């Protein structure tokens, strides 16, 4: 059984069909990527699956549970996480505190103002936080304030915060955007580690085609709200419809 499935998912904004009958499935342990030109509907698809937007019609199921109509926090609680590109970081808190807050909120319902006074009592939160900091390679910077981190480390902290919510499936929104080649390489090896050592299923939206072709098991291509191609990296690389949508027929 697929872990995540959408069936005939459609989302309209006024007269615009931002998603047009999208049917996809993701298996446990897979890394699937979603590509498509600007405005293709990638964010709309993720937002519709994760409960930020309500679909106009169609179904979304996760591990057999119908997600349509659930709130984002309920969907997160089922094990669907998200590494946000913006605004999930508290700039004045340390790196470690940022991860602890997210881990605490997941394990204990919600963030409490007393958390920082009592956090030493929460062994589960502490252990999870340290394991994440190690994986993300931010342990040496754990006592720094988040705002002081270089750009690439900030982006990895976003992944750490996503991990702290203990997801089985994680949506990653352009995790390498704006990164240097070295930072991109680090992020790619982090993605591999999440798949291999954390048994994660990953749904990646990314513009860097080298990263996409490198890490994906399967790729979905969206254009004007509709899936125009699906397949392995080799199949997608050679797909005429993908070339046409992306580069007017040129090389990818």
Ligand X SMILES: Nc1ncnc2c1ncn2[C@@H]1O[C@H](COP(=O)(O)OP(=O)(O)OP(=O)(O)O)[C@@H](O)[C@H]1O
Q: Which of residues 35-64 bind ligand X (CB under 6 A)?
A: 36, 38-44
Reference 76, options 97, 107, 116; nearest CA is 107
For residues 247 and 164, what is the distance between their CA atoms, to the nearest angstrom? 38
Q: In what order do the strands lie in the sheet with 201-205?
A: 80-83, 169-173, 201-205, 31-35, 218-223, 226-231
Closest contact distance (angstroms) between CB of 42 and ligand X is 3
Cβ proximity to ligand X, 39 vs 152, nearer residue: 39
CB 200 within 8 A of CB 169: yes
Reference 182, options 220, 209, 156; nearest CA is 156
Upper half-sphere CA count for residue 232 (Cβ side, 13 Å): 2
Cβ proximity to ligand X, 15 vs 64, nearer residue: 15
Closest contact distance (angstroms) between CB of 239 and ligand X is 18
Reference 153, options 161, 215, 201; nearest CA is 161
Cβ proximity to ligand X, 48 vs 98, nearer residue: 48
Q: Which of residues 193-232 bind ligand X (CB under 6 A)?
A: none
> Considering only residues 18, 67, 76, 163, which one is a binding residue for ligand X as defined by CB under 6 A?
18
Q: How many residues bind ligand X (CB under 6 A)?
A: 11
Closest contact distance (angstroms) between CB of 131 and ligand X is 32
Closest contact distance (angstroms) between CB of 44 and ligand X is 3
Closest contact distance (angstroms) between CB of 207 and ligand X is 7
CB 133 within 8 A of CB 99: yes
Residues found near ligand X in the complex (CB under 6 A): 13, 16, 18, 36, 38-44
């Amino acid at each position: 059984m697929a872990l995540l499935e959408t069936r005939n998912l459609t989302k309209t904004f006024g007269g615009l069909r931002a998603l047009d009958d999208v049917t996809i499935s993701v298996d446990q342990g897979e890394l699937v990527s979603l590509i498509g030109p600007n405005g293709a509907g990638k964010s709309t698809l993720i937002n519709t699956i994760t409960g930020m937007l309500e679909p106009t019609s169609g179904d979304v199921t996760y591990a057999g549970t119908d997600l349509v109509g659930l709130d984002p926090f309920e969907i997160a609680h089922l094990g669907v996480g998200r590494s946000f590109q913006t605004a999930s970081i508290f700039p004045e808190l340390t790196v470690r505190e940022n991860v602890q807050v997210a881990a605490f909120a997941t394990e204990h319902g919600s963030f409490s103002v007393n958390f920082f006074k009592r956090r030493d009592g929460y062994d589960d939160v502490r252990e999870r936080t340290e394991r994440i900091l190690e994986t993300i390679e931010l342990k040496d910077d754990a006592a720094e304030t988040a705002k002081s981190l270089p750009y690439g480390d900030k982006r990895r902290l976003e992944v750490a915060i996503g991990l702290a919510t203990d997801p089985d499936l994680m949506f990653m929104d352009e995790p390498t955007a704006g990164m240097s080649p070295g930072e991109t390489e680090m992020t790619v090896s982090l993605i591999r580690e999440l798949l291999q050592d954390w048994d994660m299923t990953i749904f990646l939206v990314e513009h860097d085609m080298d990263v996409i072709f490198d890490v994906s098991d399967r790729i979905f291509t969206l254009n004007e709200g509709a899936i125009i191609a699906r397949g392995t990296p080799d199949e997608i690389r050679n797909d005429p419809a993908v070339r046409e949508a992306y580069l007017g027929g040129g090389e990818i």
